[in-house]
């Protein structure tokens, strides 16, 4: 996700390889200087003594960082809006999440509540350990991550309300999250109910999928016909050369992309960066950036790069040779320059360095950085490999259209798990990861309920019609029985027409798209109704009402 390689970015973007497939929720893009500063006087941060292992409290606690924003808070007993940016440091997210330019801040304004932004265990300054060894990562589990939310809600004495009337036993706590954080909403509501009052989850991939080639199905659906046809033609050609060509043919092809030193599968993954651009698209992309990242990629493939005088091609596209030229031009001009170097590793210095694409090099620095603030999001790799969520984004099976090389397989990604997490032995104890022990994504679904984790009270889902993660959400087109439909006033589902990943999160989207604005208005109305029920049922007065 090149445009996000900035000082404030989502951690799951930090790898050119393994973690590009992580669930991203977009950059911390301060809407205006005014909005960034406006809430500053109401903000603060602190730490909470969180249990290291909820199944074994005797192991003690660690410091989990959180921020709070009270601009809209009406006093003790008012609602608390809890959110987390998920698999990344939460540093800086308070700059926008406490404002009405994010859904959490909008909920706070409409409900008269405070926002608490919780940093996920093991990220940022919320790690129990300084080194992310395999042994130390044992407590980074989905079960612990779910229970972190409810334990905080029950036990926190907020700095802005030392009376204790803001705990979940005294005030309604509302959780909202998107992407992995959206899945946490569903899992918390169904697996750990009774503490948090109401939930909203956007684009939550609740069904873990091993071979997730369908990540690219919505990309195919959203692509201009010419781009889709030409990218498929390029990938088919690439696979023919890599599988059946001579060594000279392979080198010649790779050198067109300045990737001559990559293995065949690594080269296939490098080309995946084009289709991956779709996840960056939002309704506000053009107005905010001046371009849509995915459509910029398509323009290059169609030989319509900046200042090009070529005619706009029809639905059939430009054909293989021109498309291959355009794909290579996009990669060598827009994607590769400075990319690997930007991660800050000495091994990857040089404008055209390709180290970050070398996923089959087991000695690569990406696999050896054990620091908490590593550039490769080792923590998310652990959850992919250990739970294991997997979610390997690879080429489609033969017989299905594909935008990604079929040399990119689930086994290609699983191989990297072994590079990241070689077995550690301490006396009789051996520490390893779930995939190595034979676990697969199905084990996560057996634990959570997957697509069917819908038996809840006061849970809202929202998903994008064209979100690449769609088929891992309850709105999946391959979910047995079809996409989930609202089952009662207690469980609601909304699909955002034309929406992508976390489309209802951003105020900029509400401003430019009536469809997402309508859904956000409905979400606010539902949350207002549910929070009102808390005060009625507990015979308490809603502060400020």
Please state, in angstroms and rounded to a whole number, the distance separating the CA atoms of residues 80 and 77: 9
Per the DSSP assignment, residues forming a β-bridge with 80 are: 114, 173
Q: Beta-carbon neighbour count of residue 155 at 10 Å? A: 14
Is 467 a catalytic site residue? yes
Any catalytic annotation for residue 179?
yes
Cβ pair 86, 181 in contact under 8 A: yes
Residue 359's closest CA among 260, 268, 434?
268
3-state secondary structure of 424: strand
Query: Which residue carries 């907020």 as its tokens?
Result: 158
- C-alpha pair distances (Å), 85 with each of 96, 181, 187, 424: 12, 6, 16, 31
Active-site annotation holder among 264, 299, 394, 467: 467
The answer to whether 109 touches 520, Cβ cutoff 8 Å, is no
Q: 240: how many CB neighbours lie within 10 A of its CB?
A: 11
Among 127, 166, 179, 210, the one annotated catalytic: 179
Query: Going along 126-239, which residue ranges are E strands?
Result: 173-178, 198-202, 209-211
* Nearest CA-CA partner of 236 in 408, 402, 392: 402
* Structure token digits, residue 19: 């973690």
Cβ atoms of 170 and 190 closer than 8 Å: no
Q: Which helix (H) or strand (E) holds 155?
A: helix 142-155
Nearest-10 Cα torsion for 492, 498, 501, 503: -70
Contact of 172 with 457, CB cutoff 8 Å: no
- Which residues are catalytic, by number? 179, 467
């Amino acid at each position: 996700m090149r445009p996000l390689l900035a000082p404030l970015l989502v951690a799951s973007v930090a790898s050119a390889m393994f973690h590009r497939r992580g669930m991203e929720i977009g950059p911390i893009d301060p809407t205006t200087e005014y909005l960034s500063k406006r809430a500053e006087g109401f903000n603060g941060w602190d730490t909470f003594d969180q249990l290291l292992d909820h199944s074994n409290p005797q192991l003690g606690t660690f410091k989990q960082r959180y921020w709070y924003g009270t601009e809209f808070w009406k006093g003790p007993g008012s609602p608390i809006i809890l959110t987390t940016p998920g698999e990344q440091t939460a540093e800086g997210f308070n700059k926008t999440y406490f404002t009405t330019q994010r859904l959490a801040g909008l909920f706070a304004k409409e409900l008269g509540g405070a926002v608490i932004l919780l940093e996920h265990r093991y990220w940022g300054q919320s790690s129990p350990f300084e080194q992310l060894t395999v042994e130390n990562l044992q407590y980074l589990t989905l079960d612990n991550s779910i229970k972190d939310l409810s334990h905080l809600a029950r036990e926190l004495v907020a700095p802005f309300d030392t009376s204790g009337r803001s705990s979940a036993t005294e005030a309604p706590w509302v959780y909202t999250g998107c992407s992995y954080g959206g899945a946490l909403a569903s899992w918390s509501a169904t697996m750990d109910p009774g503490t948090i009052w109401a939930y909203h989850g956007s684009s939550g991939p609740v069904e873990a999928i091993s071979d997730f080639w369908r990540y690219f199905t919505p990309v195919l659906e959203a692509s201009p016909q010419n781009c889709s046809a030409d990218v498929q033609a390029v990938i088919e050609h690439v696979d023919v050369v890599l599988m059946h060509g001579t060594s000279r043919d392979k080198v010649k092809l790779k050198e067109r992309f300045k990737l001559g030193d990559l293995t065949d599968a690594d080269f296939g993954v490098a080309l995946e960066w084009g289709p991956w651009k779709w996840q960056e698209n939002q309704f506000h992309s053009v107005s905010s950036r001046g371009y849509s990242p995915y459509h910029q990629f398509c323009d290059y493939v169609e030989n319509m790069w900046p200042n090009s005088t070529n005619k706009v091609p029809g639905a059939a596209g430009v054909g293989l040779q021109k498309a291959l030229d355009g794909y290579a031009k996009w990669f060598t001009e827009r994607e590769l320059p400075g990319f690997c170097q930007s991660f800050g590793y000495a091994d990857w210095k040089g404008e055209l360095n390709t180290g970050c694409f070398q996923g089959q090099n087991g000695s690569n620095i990406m696999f050896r950085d054990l620091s908490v603030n590593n550039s490769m999001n080792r923590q998310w790799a652990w959850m992919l490999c250990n739970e294991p969520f997997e979610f390997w984004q690879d080429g489609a099976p033969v017989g299905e259209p594909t935008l990604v090389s079929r040399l990119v397989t689930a086994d290609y990604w699983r191989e990297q798990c072994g590079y990241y997490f070689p077995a550690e032995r301490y006396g009789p104890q051996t520490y390893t990861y779930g995939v190595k022990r034979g676990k697969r994504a199905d084990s996560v679904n057996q634990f959570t309920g997957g697509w069917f984790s819908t038996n809840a009270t006061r849970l809202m889902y929202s998903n994008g019609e064209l979100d690449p993660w769609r088929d891992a959400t309850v709105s999946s087109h391959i979910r047995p029985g079809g996409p989930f439909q609202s089952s009662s006033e207690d469980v609601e589902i909304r699909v955002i027409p034309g929406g992508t990943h976390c489309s209802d999160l951003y105020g900029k989207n509400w401003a430019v798209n009536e469809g997402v604005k309508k859904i956000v208005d409905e979400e606010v109305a539902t949350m207002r109704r549910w929070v009102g029920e808390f005060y009625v049922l507990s015979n308490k007065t809603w502060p400020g009402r």
